[in-house]
Amino acid sequence: MYNNQKVAVVMPAYNATETLVKSYQEVQKQAFVDCVIVVDDCSSDNTAELARTECPEALFYQTAQNSGYGANQKLCYKIALECNADIIIMVHPDYQYTPDLIPAMVALIGNGLYHCVIGSRILGGYALKGGMPVWKYISNRLLTLVQNCFWGVKLSEYHSGYRAYSRTLLEQLPLDENSDDFVFDNQVLAEIIWQNYIIAEISCPTRYFAEASSISFARSVSYGLGCLSTTCSYLLAKFHLRDSKLFKRELFRYASKQFPEKSEK
């Protein structure tokens, strides 16, 4: 608990045999974490077996069939909200993101400062030194530049999978309308910006290694095109040129306050 707010960590897993247990054990060491939710997206390896035997205190769920990264997250957040979590943090079980940042992310949300916090691999300037492939770094920077320009914000990156959300925010987002694939993450941030919430960032060490999961170049291209499509949909909805299920007119809010409102308990 943090300030009487329940903290849940969700871990959307897929073929994470090599890293799941280590990631889970480090999450368990962190202050304020009340529950850990592991959802296995019908892995083809023994991720599910390891989750059941080596992560005994976690709430474990397994999908009947592989549904995709975005669909896995939808289920993760649904379970977390049903467990009455007030602060929900997503940590990938591939050990690319250090769980040591969880207390800091919890504090930023739990003190009412922000409703969304991202662990940025770009802040600090050590992404390449940490092993991020050059082509991924370049594409990250270009996509981020485009979306910053069109959305009128200034984030260091939109593509980190290390996120923390308040319950208030998650309940307002039309998550079920989002993609079941990797572009889900980008759509979520676009929806948050659409509703005029400020997104906080903290510097996150970059860790790339052989056992960590990584999407292929082809999937990365598909993801990039999806991000550009999300950008276009946002602009078309903003200027009343086309309706969007992701960017609903009744949820659009122009910037009027420097800081987001605190959620009422």
Contacts of 247 (CB under 8 A, 6+ apart): 190, 191, 194, 233, 234, 237, 238
Share of the chain above pLDDT 90, in %: 86
* Secondary structure (DSSP) of 70-119: HHHHHHHHHHHHHTT-SEEEE--TTS-S-GGGHHHHHHHHHTTS-SEEEE
Mean of pLDDT over the chain: 93
Q: What is the mean pLDDT of residues 129-152?
A: 95
Is pTM, for the whole model, over 0.85? yes
Are 36 and 58 in contact by the 8 Å Cβ rule? The answer is yes
Rg of the chain (C-alpha set): 18
Q: Which residues are within 8 A (CB) of 148 and not within 5 positions of it... i.e. 6 or more apart?
A: 154, 155
**Model confidence pLDDT, tens digit, residues 170-205:** 999 999 999 999 999 999 999 999 999 999 999 999
* Helix (H), strand (E) at residue 37: strand 35-40
**Residue 217 structure tokens:** 């170049």
Per-domain residue ranges of the chain: 7-249
Question: If you average pLDDT over residues 94-122, what whole number do you get?
Answer: 97
**Each residue of 50-107: pLDDT tens digit?**
999 999 999 999 999 999 999 999 999 999 999 999 999 999 999 999 999 999 999 9
Domain at 7-249, CATH class? alpha beta
For residue 94, with 0-12 CB atoms within 10 Å meaning exposed, 13-18 middle and 19 or more buried, which class applies?
A: buried
Which residue has tokens 């992310």?
105
Lowest mean pLDDT among 106-120, 163-177, 224-238, 242-256: 242-256
Instruction: Give me the pLDDT at residue 254, please.
Output: 60
> Residues 200, 85, 101, CA angle at the centre, nearest 5°?
40
Residues 108, 94 contacting (CB under 8 angstroms) = no
pLDDT of residue 213: 60
DSSP H or E segment with residue 9? strand 7-13
> What's the pLDDT at 175?
97
**For 239-265, where are the alpha helices, taking DSSP H only?**
none
> Picking from 12-26, 189-203, 242-256, which range would have the lowest pLDDT averaged per residue?
242-256
Taking the CA atoms of residue 22, residue 23, residue 26 and residue 27 in that order, the dihedral angle to the nearest 10 degrees is -150
Under 8 Å between Cβ of 164 and 116: yes
Residue 210 pLDDT exceeds 90: no
